[in-house]
A = this chain, B = another copy of it.
C-alpha cells in the first residue's frame, strides 16, 4: 500500500491509499457487504455511489460459500464483480459474538478461537495464521488480524491478558504474512493490526505502543469501541489512542458509527470507518439527511411530494418522492430497501467526500460547525 497524507486541518486528515484495486481517498466510509453483497445492492450500485472500498465479513464468507469457492472466482472481486477494494475482518468478532449465544460453543485459548457454525453447528477453529489463509483466498486488499476479544465488563487481569494475547497474535500474524509473501502469497494484500484496551487509557496506550512498534503492518485499527459505551468515552478513547499511532499509516476505527460519530472521530485523526448503520437503518425506515434523521414510515409523508432531502443528489432523491417511499415501506415492497439503502449510503459517502474537501482546504473547523448547524433547524 502506498499511503500519502495530503493534508491535515486541525487533527483531521486527508490521505490517499493506493492499492491493487485502486485508490481510496480518506476520510472514507466502507459500506458493509457481509456476504459479498451490500444488502439490497449490487456492484454497479456501489460503483454509481462512488464506493472505493467495501468491507466483507470473513466469518460469513468462510462458512458460506467458503473462501476456497470464492478463490476459484478470483476472490471477492471476481465473485461479486465489484472491481474496487475490499477490506475483510478476521472473522474473530463473529466467531466470538455468535458463539456467545451458547458459551460452550466458543473456546478461546492462547492459540485461537474454537467455535460452532451458526448455520449447521459444525466446529471450526480460527488461529492468527488461519484467518490470514482465509483472507488470502478471499483476495481482500486489506486483511485484519485476529484479536483476543473479551466480554465487558471484565477483570483487569483478563483485560490485560487480552491485550498481551492480541499483541502475541499480531506478532505471529505479521511474521506469518511476511513469510507467506516471500512464497508469493498475498503479495498485493495489506494487513492491519487492531488496538484494544476498552476505554482504559493505560491499556489503550499499552496496546497501541506494542502494536505500532510492529512496523511491517500497513495500518492500524482501533477496535472494541461502539459497543455500548457513552459517545464521549468513545471520542476520548480515540483522541487518546491516535497520539500513539503513526502519522504515515492509515487509522481505522472499526464498527463506527453515526454521522456525528464520523465527524467527531475524523476530528480526532481517524481516516477509515465501517458500519452497518446506513444500510440497516434504511431497512428500518430511518433515512439520513443534512438536517438529521427522518423516519419515512411517518404518516406525515403520505402525500409529501418532496424528495427525502432536497439538498441530496442521490438516485433516490433525484427520482422519488417521500410519498412513494412511504407507500413502498408501508406496503413492505422490496424496491424500498434498495432505494433507501442507495440514499443512506450516498449520504455517508458524500459526507466523507465533503469532509475531505474541507480538510484539503484547511476548512475543517468551519465544516464541522456547519454540519451541526444544519441539524439544528
Contacts and interface: CB of A to CB of B under 8 A. Distances in A.
B35 A333 contact: yes
A69 B324 CA distance: 10
Contacts of A338: 40, 42, 334, 338
B335 A41 contact: yes
A323 B37 contact: no
Given A43-B319, A72-B303, A73-B305, A65 B335 contact: no
Contacts of A43: 319
Nearest to A68: B303
Nearest to A332: B35
A165 interface: no
A65 B302 contact: yes
Contact of A323 (B40, B79, B331): B79
A80 interface: yes
B327 A65 contact: yes
Interface in A67-124: 69, 72-73, 79-81
Interface string A315-346: 00001110110111011011101110000000
A4 interface: no
A64 interface: yes
Contacts of A81: 319-320, 324
A338 B330 CA distance: 19
6 contacts: A35-B331, A39-B334, A42-B338, A64-B331, A69-B303, A69-B323
> 5 closest A-B pairs (Cβ-Cβ)?
A40-B334, A35-B331, A37-B335, A65-B327, A37-B333
